[in-house]
């Protein structure tokens, strides 16, 4: 691009330049599309996580407390897992009024969005004379919400998980959150304040993988739940994958954050630079991509991003540099149609269409956790207050799954009824298929209705 050979980043050119999509090798494309999955399923890594899971399964609270000491440097007494009412109250007192107001704003928007989701409730219709079919929608009986802690304070994650569950009507919600770094066992006050605002009292300080296992199996202190949701590190994600073998359902996959922006020469370059850094600052395992048909835009945005990157404090500067320079970067495409094809292959968690005329590209997007249309809809607005889900599938799972909404916490039960006349009409079909598959009792049960 220009006179600079595509490749590794530098301080004044922080975006890795992948070159033209049509010229990227199959292996490089595969690395982009399958990002993060190998680490989750690495045999040695998985064995380490399974060891923790099996320990919690066998020893309950004792194993959870050991994990707190081993991984967080936090020594707690046997009754130290549950957050007390006094700690929850202190969290609210220690949280600024601005943050409390912002949490209330986010909760209100999320409630409105998820109440709309829940309007799609029970339904039925007569598919044949006398044959009525439909579904009944009910909440699951319990859910565990995992709120990450290691790289920062994330009360917004709790809100994004809890509000849909509450709107769905889940009878029991259990929150697990690792303690803040430092070893004293304190939990982020703003997360506790959010628990207070939402009326959540089953809140536990637990290390990530051990916390997932505790929710899956139950311990002396921590209730067992049917569904576990929440983003986290590869270790947390791996733990969620593994506990499914024991009957706990988890969402797939809420791993390290990722974003992709489709832009062209109509894009405001300064806003584009800000938005490229938005998700990039989450962590060194994050990914931030630019896809554009304009080589000139890539050249110009390098300098814009470099200037903004230099202003970030550590460790966010290093996180963002890695997300843009190692995991992400810039890809040049032939046109916006090819840009949509790249986005569908990548299936990003967050997708922004930073285009003057986004509608044609929007119509072509099939795989994305969320699609933000236009530069006045930045990732930060979606992360906090839009009301749309912000806990979204990563690592390409947007191809097969969706973000966390009230529907995540509801299940559907099919209901059907027939009159005797309707049963007589379908009996020949039942008998033909049952005889073909070798089930004489099926045949007899169907024919008995005609006697």
Catalytic residue list: 349-350
* 3-state secondary structure (DSSP) of residue 148: coil
User: What is the distance between the alpha carbons of residues 333 and 340, in angstroms, rounded to a whole number?
Assistant: 10
- 73's tokens: 């440097």
Contacting residues for 158 by C-beta, under 8 A, at least 6 apart? 145, 147, 175, 177, 191, 194, 195, 198
- CA-nearest of 82, 74, 100 to 155 is 100
User: What is the distance between the alpha carbons of residues 71 and 238, in angstroms, rounded to a whole number?
Assistant: 16
* 3-state secondary structure (DSSP) of residue 229: strand
Q: Within 10 A of 143 (CB to CB), how many other CB atoms are there?
A: 27
Q: Which residue has the tokens 């039925």?
A: 124
The angle that helices 97-118 and 189-198 make with each other, rounded to 10 degrees, is 50
* Structural contact between residues 148 and 257, judged by C-beta atoms closer than 8 angstroms: no
Q: Are strands 142-146 and 329-332 parallel, antiparallel or unpaired?
A: unpaired
* Structural contact between residues 133 and 124, judged by C-beta atoms closer than 8 angstroms: yes
Bridge partners for 204 per DSSP: 82, 176
Backbone angles phi and psi of 168, in degrees to 5 = -70, -20
Q: Within 10 A of 42 (CB to CB), how many other CB atoms are there?
A: 13
- CA-nearest of 161, 108, 48 to 404 is 161
Q: Are strands 350-354 and 370-373 parallel, antiparallel or unpaired?
A: parallel
Contacting residues for 381 by C-beta, under 8 A, at least 6 apart? 372
Distance between first and last Cα of the chain: 80
Q: DSSP assignment of 374-422, as one string?
A: STTS-HHHHHHTS-S--S---TTGGGT----SGGGGEEEEEEEEE-HHH
Return the sign of the alpha-carbon dihedral for residues 87, 168, 170, 230: negative
């Amino acid at each position: 691009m220009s006179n600079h050979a595509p490749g590794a980043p530098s301080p004044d050119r922080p975006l890795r330049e992948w070159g033209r999509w049509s010229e990227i090798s199959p292996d490089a494309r595969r690395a982009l599309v399958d990002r993060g999955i190998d680490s989750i399923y690495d045999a040695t890594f998985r064995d380490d996580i399974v060891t923790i899971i099996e320990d919690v399964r066998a020893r309950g609270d004792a194993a959870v407390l050991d994990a707190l000491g081993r991984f967080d440097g936090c020594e707690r007494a046997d009754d130290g897992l549950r957050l007390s009412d006094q700690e929850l109250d202190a969290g609210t007192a220690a949280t600024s009024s601005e943050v409390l107001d912002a949490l209330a704003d986010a909760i209100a928007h999320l409630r409105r969005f998820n109440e709309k989701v829940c309007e799609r409730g029970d339904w039925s219709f007569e598919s044949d004379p006398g044959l009525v079919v439909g579904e009944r929608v009910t909440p699951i009986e319990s859910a565990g919400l995992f709120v990450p802690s290691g790289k920062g304070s994330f009360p917004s994650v709790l809100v994004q998980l809890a509000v849909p569950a509450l709107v769905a009507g889940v009878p029991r919600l259990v929150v697990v959150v690792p303690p803040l770094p430092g070893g004293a066992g304190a939990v982020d006050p703003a997360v506790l304040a959010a628990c207070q605002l939402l009326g959540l009292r089953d809140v536990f300080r637990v290390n990530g993988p051990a916390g997932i296992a505790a929710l899956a199996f139950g311990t002396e202190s921590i209730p067992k739940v049917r569904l576990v949701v929440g983003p986290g590190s590869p270790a947390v994600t791996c733990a969620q994958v593994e506990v499914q073998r024991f009957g706990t359902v988890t969402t797939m996959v809420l791993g390290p954050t990722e974003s992709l922006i489709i832009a062209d020469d109509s894009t405001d370059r300064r806003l584009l630079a800000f938005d490229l850094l938005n998700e990039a600052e989450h962590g060194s395992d994050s990914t931030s991509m630019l896809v554009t048909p304009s080589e000139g835009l890539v050249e110009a945005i390098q300098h814009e991003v470099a200037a903004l990157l230099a202003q970030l404090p550590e460790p966010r500067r290093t996180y963002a540099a890695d997300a843009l320079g190692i995991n992400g970067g810039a890809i040049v495409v032939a046109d916006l149609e090819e840009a949509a094809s790249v986005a569908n292959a990548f299936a990003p968690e967050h997708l922004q269409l930073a285009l003057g005329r986004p509608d044609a590209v929007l119509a072509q997007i099939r795989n994305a956790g969320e699609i933000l249309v236009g530069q006045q809809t930045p990732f930060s607005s979606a992360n906090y207050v839009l009301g749309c889900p912000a806990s979204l599938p990563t690592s390409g799972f947007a191809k097969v799954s969706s973000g966390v909404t009230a529907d995540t916490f509801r299940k559907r039960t099919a209901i059907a009824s027939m009159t005797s006349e309707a049963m007589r009409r379908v009996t020949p079909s039942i008998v033909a298929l049952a005889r073909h598959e070798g089930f004489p009792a099926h045949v007899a049960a169907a024919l008995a209705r005609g006697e």
